[in-house]
A and B are shown apart, each in its own frame.
Chain A
Amino acid sequence: MATTTTADVKLSALPPATGRAGMRGVLASEFTKLRSVRSTYWTIGALIIVGVGLAAAIGAGAASDLQHNPGDKAAFDATQTSLGGFFYLGQLIIAVLGAMAITSEYSTGMIRTSLTAMPRRGTVYASKLLVFTGVALVISLVTSFLAFFVGQAVLSGSGVSASLFHSTTVPMAAQVTPQGATLSGTFTVTTGAVLTAVVGIALFVTVAAVIAFGLGAIIRHTAGAIASAIGLLFVLPIIIQLLPNTWRWDVMRFFPDAAGRVLSSTVGPPNPHMWSAWPQFAVAAIWALVLVGIGAYLFRKRDA
């Protein structure tokens, strides 16, 4: 054992305390917790690599396709092409971080140490949620912008890439003949639409992370929380896709992942079966709020 016994160490006197331990200290504590475990860095690294890497890979594939099949340029959504990988897989990666932000306290037993140091559970829960959400939002924004810029750089030769600095146009129809494709119609992609997509997808991924956090607080078990988050965010939408065409849209728009689809779309008329971008985002946010609220209630009520 690499320890020595020093029974006669003198501790310095503590400064006198005034007031009451509150949220400020707990916020600092929760940030220390998040930044002092390796899993945080692994997850963030994986998120950025997957988000940006997929934007590059899918972009390269699309660029090659557009070169050989110019007809595919019709209604080509360059922004969605860059963000798709990030929002489909990124939400799953960040869901792991969200669930573990709270379940790791239970799996290690740390929660008992944490609540002994700060027994006001509402303060602990709110601080944990705020710190995690803040970190998730920053990482998501960084990844979303990186994915967009890398993706557009790869698509830059295609003539249909998008930009955050000036509006671009995309042909809306193509007539393909053996001699080539005749493109017609023009859709203008505004910088506002692109910014909405890039920022909106970052917000959507953050909301997905908060959904996983809420499930973590309810289930208190890492594997169970991650599995249910993936089920809600990823598997359920696939199952809904299999429902009859006549009513599957009416179901889909009540699930969180619909926001990702609507928010990332910048080309063409809005999907008539879904609400528009921000109302659809509100649906996802309501899921997050409800789950986090149930989690908060249980966090306070249950024995630790």
Chain B
Amino acid sequence: MIEVRGLTKRYGAKTAVDGLSFAIEPGKVTGFLGPNGAGKTTTMRCILGLDYPNEGTITVDGKTYHDLAFPMREMGALLDAKAVHGGRSAYSHLLCLAQTNGLPKKRVGEVLELVGLTEVTKKRSKGFSLGMSQRLGIAATMLGDPKMLMFDEPVNGLDPEGILWIRNLMKALASEGRTVFVSSHLMSEMENTADHLIVIGRGKLIADCTMKEFIARSSGTSVRVRTPSAGQLIAAIAAKGATASSDESGSIEVRGMSTEQIGDLAFSEGIRLHELTMVRASLEEAFMELTADSVEYRAEVPGGQHPSPANSDTAIGSGV
């Protein structure tokens, strides 16, 4: 259980995190989402006591991180896979970490085997690829068999096999009852891994909900229509009070009407349809929309009511 209450962190004049509060519960994977510069890494650094908050309190299992008796048994954290001394071998790196918490030496060989680095145990980590460094970092988090795990962009640099491996690892860790808190910029990765989501933008909380709720809270479903009589159909839809907009390719996006309603309307107007498809909002789109809103309406109460859906084209455009 990680609890963040009223966290504010400023670097000089820049406020990186602004009054952030949330709790990460055990037994599930919690995704931590936000655009670059939203304050994800800063929040994680504050949880670990690497950076000191200007305001707010953070507790890890009810204690501040500095007061944990054996920090590595409580929390395994990987913020930056390259934050190792490159001149040190993988084995020595893990050994010097294990020693700080009085963990047995044989544990080092075991975690190296777990992440598949047994062959490069004696190699200096300077020559490691980013993927191998990520594995070394994950090995370090597992040294203390921790109750909580925190990863900042863990799939960064991993090959598809590695991505699958870490996804399964995180799910397995959560199913064992551990707290798993993971940030990622890969929305599709979150969609497949996370049970719960914390979304932040500009250092403020935007959403703290389950994955299902998150998708539902976005502007939701729309219908894609293609027709040779675009102008006529848009006018007819507008007359019914729904919204329709056409894009460059000629397909029309309709909100506020079901496929059945649109099909019936087209039939009664004598319009031929070439496509009539329901489009579910993906997590990617939902995320873009919500965070783009956070940029547009910065004075919104964090975690408050869902902001009014913006035009989806604009939202994606400014989110990218």
Contact = CB atoms under 8 A, between A and B. Distances in A.
B159 A1 contact: yes
B83 A115 contact: no
A286 B70 CA distance: 35
Nearest to A36: B92
B87 interface: yes
B85 A9 contact: no
A9 B109 CA distance: 11
B276 to A, nearest CB: 43
B101 A21 contact: yes
A248 B93 CA distance: 49
Given A3-B117, A4-B116, A108-B86, 8 more contacts: A12-B106, A33-B92, A33-B96, A38-B87, A108-B85, A118-B71, A303-B52, A304-B45
A37 B85 contact: yes
Contacts of A30: 96
Contacts of B45: 112, 303-304
- Of the four ranges (under 10, 10 to 19, 20 to 34, 35 or more), the interface on chain A belongs to 35 or more
Interface string B105-124: 01100110111110110000
Interface in A110-156: 110-120
A15 B85 contact: no
Contact of A9 (B77, B92, B114, B120): B114
Contact of A118 (B101, B116, B140, B165): B101
B278 interface: no
Contact of B69 (A21, A24, A113, A115): A21
Dominant secondary structure of chain A at its interface with chain B: loop
Contact of B96 (A6, A32, A38, A109): A32
B50 A112 contact: yes
Contact of A109 (B51, B84, B93): B84
Given A9-B114, A20-B69, A32 B101 contact: no
Given A9-B110, A115-B49, A119-B48, A21 B102 contact: yes
Interface of B: 45, 48-52, 65-66, 68-73, 75, 77, 79-80, 82-89, 92-93, 95-97, 99-104, 106-107, 110-111, 113-117, 119-120, 129, 131-132, 135, 140, 142, 144-145, 159, 161-162, 165, 168-169, 172
Given A25-B102, A33-B88, A113-B140, A108 B83 contact: yes
A229 B49 CA distance: 30
Contact of A14 (B73, B79, B116): B73
- Counting chain A CB atoms within 10 Å of each CB, the highest count among B72, B77, B96 belongs to B96
A104 interface: yes
Given A109-B84, A119-B49, A6 B113 contact: yes
19 contacts: A3-B120, A6-B116, A9-B113, A9-B114, A14-B73, A14-B104, A14-B107, A20-B69, A21-B102, A30-B96, A105-B85, A109-B83, A109-B84, A112-B80, A113-B83, A114-B100, A116-B75, A117-B140, A119-B71
